[in-house]
Amino acid sequence: MNGDDSMSDFNKIIAFQQMMPYLSKEQQEELALTLGMDLQEIERRLVGKNKEDEFILILLFMEVCKSITGFDEGVSQLLKTATSDLLIELKNGNKFMLEIKHTDKEKYSISMGNLEKRIDYASKYNLALYFAISIKGIWMLFNAEYLKEKGGKIGISDLTKSKLDEILGCISYVFPKNLRIRSVYSTNEAVKSTGIQFDPYGKLVSYELYYDDKKIFRVKGKNSPYLGYTMILEALQDRLSMDTQTIEHSGDYTIINEFFTSDFNAISEYKFLLAPIEHTAYDGDNKYTAHTYIEKAKEDSNLLNMRFQLGHIRGMMQYLVDNGVEILYIKNNLIYKLNP
């Protein structure tokens, strides 16, 4: 493949990404054919772009940025410059260039030559360069000098050296075993429900959170004062389902129990901020990705105001602790107990 073809493919993928939020799956397939590309290949290549948008949402949601400035990647490729992805200015006055990277491999790797070019670019503006790196969905943040020390290779073992908590003010909550969510769904339309749909099991009839078999709260009906809790705790439920999940069927009803079988289950605050968005459908069955959410927010700025914010997450954790759930939190690699 020559340089012109590569550039053409890049532009096609960027164009596809811009149109994707407004197209059905069938229309996406038709557009891919029109562009002479395979939809699965486009989706694979868009994973990295969506991860960039995911970290941009984290920057927005952690409420520490005064401004976020992006650079045109197409122009950077054309001029063959090692432009950073973003210029970040924090509310405390600090500024730095940011590279956003993602890999599903065990390690992220960058050549020393490429790394030096990117450090040089940031140095022209007298700014430090940081790398936000996602390895299998776990975000870390490092100064470029740390990458130099590591020979351009970063793995999960470097998590304790990450500056994410320090720079973004992010903490992780540590949940104990014997924490359980019991959800009941029904496909019977006559049954009163919360209105929350989860195919193929039907609508959510009730949702209960238990700790050591003590009921902490119960959601039942559309007017339940605890209904919002089910959305705030999406990240917790995702993690519980990855640990242990049992599914029972009884006529029109499905009962799902999800629980931890071991202690020290850490979930970062940014996961709680992102999960409600990822579980929300914006057009029929199409659920938000980070990219589609940003595109929709450009059209309607109220979308950003409707999301759950840090105060909601921290208030939720305090509520759980006040009602007997033992939760720890990690901040700057130190562990603390969240007190009632």
| C-beta separation of 204 from 183 below 8 A | yes
- Of the chain, the end-to-end C-alpha distance in Å amounts to 62
Measured CA to CA, the distance from residue 99 to residue 135 in angstroms comes to 14
Burial bucket for residue 164 (CB in 10 Å: 0-12, 13-18, 19+): buried
Q: Using the predicted structure, report yes or no on whether residue 310 has a pLDDT greater than 70.
A: yes
Amino acid 334: pLDDT:
92
pLDDT value, residue 282? 78
What local confidence, expressed as pLDDT, does residue 124 receive? Answer: 93
Lowest mean pLDDT among 2-6, 31-35, 195-199, 218-222: 2-6
Range 8-16 average pLDDT: 65
pLDDT at 123: 95
Beta strand pairing call for 286-287 and 281-283: antiparallel
Whether the per-residue pLDDT at 280 is higher than 90: the answer is no
- Name the pLDDT band for 148 (thresholds 50, 70, 90): very high
- Provide the pLDDT for residue 287: 82
| Tens digits of residue pLDDT in 38-58 | 777 776 666 667 888 999 999
Return the domain boundaries, the chain: 38-170, 173-337
Check pLDDT > 70 for residue 177. yes
List pLDDT tens digits, range 208-266.
Answer: 999 999 999 999 999 999 999 999 999 999 999 999 999 999 999 999 999 999 999 99
pLDDT digits (tens, 9 = 90+) for 185-208: 999 999 999 989 888 999 999 999
CATH number of 38-170: 3.40.1350.10
In the block, which residue shows the tokens 């039907």? 202
Q: Classify residue 217 by burial, with Cβ atoms within 10 Å: 0-12, 13-18, 19+.
A: middle
pLDDT, position 161? 95
Counting Cβ atoms within 10 Å, is residue 193 exposed (0-12), middle (13-18) or buried (19+)? buried
Chain-centroid distance of CA 311 in Å reads 18
Name the residue among 148, 156, 58 with its Cα closest to residue 108. 156
Q: What percent of the chain has pLDDT over 90?
A: 68
